[in-house]
Amino acid sequence: MSRFRKNSINVRDFALRLNQLAGITITAWGMCILATACTTSRYATMPTQSTPISIPTATPTKTLNQLGEIAFILLGGSPPSSIYAMSADGIEFGNLTKDRGDCGNPAWSRDGQQIAFLSWREGAPYLYMMDRAGTRVRRIPFAKPTTGRMGWSPNGKHIVFTGVAEGMSNEIWTINVDTLELTNLTKNPAWDEDPTWSPDGTQIAFASDRDGQIQIYTMNTDGSQAIKLTDDPLGCYSPDWSPDAKKIAFACNTGRASIIYTMNADGSQRISLMGSGDTLSGSYPSWSADGSRVAFEFAQTGLRDIYVMNADGSNVIRLTNVGPLGLQTIQPAWRPAFK
């Protein structure tokens, strides 16, 4: 049985209702959005919509509705940022954090049963975890504010995350979720962030400005042997490992926007998934559990929504469309286990 609630009201009626409540003109066919402007807790269906921004072709073996679920942030509602989860085809979804304060950067455990995330419910962004249903929430006792992406070790015993250390620099830490033992992996004055653990357990990818502009690096899980993988003039960030640990998806700045790439785990064979130019703005890539697709946030009019595409950049599909309400959906995190 699905954990999500399907929309129980007609899309046309819902569009008209939003028009009355929010003063926004919404067409019945395409403006399918989360109903956070309504006074009830019901949600509208988000159908897929093709967006022609890439040309390559591929043939994934699974359809989107066979690829589990995606956690993400709804930005601009009440509270201003909440964690939702939706089916990978965007048809069903639900709010996991509800009225518990601003939240960000959800990260699934490898077995898909836990979500680590940031929350401002105690006045600063601290690290929390909850189960898949949004219950059993507990704070991870790291005394300083945290920021950016995080990741779990494959065995589910550790979380790697970014915390503010002495001198207000960002450092990368790990914490044992059982013993609560903390380890600082980076210990330098640079700005280190966006760590993610490789699925084979051997490496951590992260972003750092230790050589000037922020770039993608990998290091051993004890913090040793940091290797620089990118050298872009405007910087790269937000790495995410493919499920087989052979590739890394990431984003690079273009000036006014950003583009998503993939590369081998050693930095070779870099491929753009989004073409080029300052009119594109894609970031925060997240691989599907079978490695066939990448979810990402993308801005066309200044407001971001969540899309998915094949791992070669083809077949781009829009999952959310909340811009008409002045909302955004950001920071997608694909659940690693989809069975």
pLDDT tens digits, one per residue of 259-290: 999 999 999 999 999 876 556 689 999 999 99
- What are the residues whose beta carbons fall under 8 Å from the beta carbon of 159, sequence distance 6 or more? 107, 116, 127, 129, 140, 150, 151, 152, 153, 174, 175, 177
Query: What type of residue is 248?
Result: I
Which residue ranges make up each domain of the chain? 47-334
Spatial distance between the Cα atoms of 7 and 253, rounded to a whole number of angstroms:
37
Best CA proximity match to 325, nearest among 5, 26, 1, 13: 26
CA angle (177 as vertex; 172, 182 as ends), nearest 5: 40
Best CA proximity match to 217, nearest among 197, 200, 239: 239
Spatial distance between the Cα atoms of 72 and 188, rounded to a whole number of angstroms:
31
Question: Residue 204 in contact with residue 172, Cβ under 8 Å?
Answer: yes
Q: Which residues pair with 176 in a beta bridge?
A: 158
Question: Residue 218 in contact with residue 229, Cβ under 8 Å?
Answer: yes
The whole-model pTM stands at 0.82
Kindly state which CATH superfamily the domain 47-334 is placed in.
Answer: TolB, C-terminal domain (2.120.10.30)
Spatial distance between the Cα atoms of 83 and 313, rounded to a whole number of angstroms:
26
CA angle (170 as vertex; 167, 174 as ends), nearest 5: 120
pLDDT means per 10 residues, the chain with 339 residues, are 36 30 26 29 29 39 79 85 91 83 91 92 83 89 80 96 78 92 90 96 97 96 97 96 98 89 97 74 94 93 90 94 89 83
Phi and psi angles of residue 21, each rounded to the nearest 5 degrees, phi first: -75, -40
- Strands 138-139 and 192-197, sheet pairing: unpaired
Torsion over CA: 95, 101, 102, 108 (sign): negative
- What are the residues whose beta carbons fall under 8 Å from the beta carbon of 329, sequence distance 6 or more? 34, 72, 73, 74, 75, 84, 297, 304, 305, 306, 319, 320, 322
pLDDT of residue 276: 63
Query: What type of residue is 116?
Result: A
pLDDT of residue 160: 96
- Strands 170-176 and 182-184, sheet pairing: antiparallel
Alpha helices in 172-261 (DSSP H): none
Task: Give the DSSP H/E element, type plus range, for residue 258.
Answer: strand 258-264
pLDDT of residue 255: 82
pLDDT of residue 61: 58
C-alpha 49 chain-centroid distance: 20
79: preceding bond cis by omega (within 30 degrees): yes
